[in-house]
């Protein structure tokens, strides 16, 4: 689903969707789950599904977050849109650090991008240390929010 939400053109989407509606039932367990979630969202009125249809593939991730248990939902990829900027700690999308990327490619800097990945909070930057004479080293107190397994594309 994350790959589908990042598809850059109709041909790429078509390739990812090829054969998705064919095959044996036991290979369609994910589709059954989504169908049950949609039945719940419909609440007996199919007009309640319009927003989900209009959301397309990205809507499935939102739907999953609504229906998965609280311990599983945060592990799903998230799709974020923001401005690609570089900071001292690395590549930044607005206020979220894109883990593993030290800087953005020049063509993306200061441009709107879509980023998909798993948002986690962890310690990346050491806390500042106060030396014997009161000098303070560079650092950042507390944890940082990062996007692991990040994939991005320019918003056109």
Q: Cβ distance 1 to 60 under 8 Å? A: yes
Residues contacting 65, CB < 8 A, separation 6+ = 73, 76
Query: For residues 107 and 9, which has the higher predicted lDDT (pLDDT)?
Result: 107
pLDDT on residue 33 = 82
The 10s digit of each residue's pLDDT in 111-149 is 878 777 777 788 888 889 999 999 999 888 888 878 777
The 10s digit of each residue's pLDDT in 12-54 is 777 877 777 677 777 666 677 888 889 998 999 998 888 888 7
E strand or H helix that includes residue 63: helix 57-67
Q: How far apart are CA 33 and CA 48, in angstroms?
A: 18
With 0-12 / 13-18 / 19 or more C-beta atoms within 10 angstroms meaning exposed / middle / buried, residue 3 is middle
pTM of this structure: 0.45
pLDDT on residue 132 = 93
């Amino acid at each position: 689903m994350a790959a589908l939400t990042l598809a850059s053109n109709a041909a790429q989407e078509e390739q990812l969707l090829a054969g998705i509606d064919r095959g044996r039932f036991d290979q369609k367990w994910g589709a059954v789950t989504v169908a049950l979630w949609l039945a719940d969202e419909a609440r007996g009125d199919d007009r309640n599904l319009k927003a989900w249809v209009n959301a397309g593939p990205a809507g499935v991730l939102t739907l999953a977050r609504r229906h998965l248990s609280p311990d599983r939902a945060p592990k799903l990829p998230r799709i974020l849109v923001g401005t690609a900027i570089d900071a001292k700690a690395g590549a930044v999308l607005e206020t979220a650090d894109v883990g593993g990327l030290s800087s953005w490619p020049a063509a993306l800097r200061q441009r709107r991008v879509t980023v998909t990945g798993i948002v986690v909070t962890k310690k990346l930057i050491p806390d500042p240390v106060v030396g014997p004479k009161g000098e303070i080293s560079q650092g950042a107190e507390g944890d940082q929010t990062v996007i692991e397994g990040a994939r991005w594309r320019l918003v056109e």
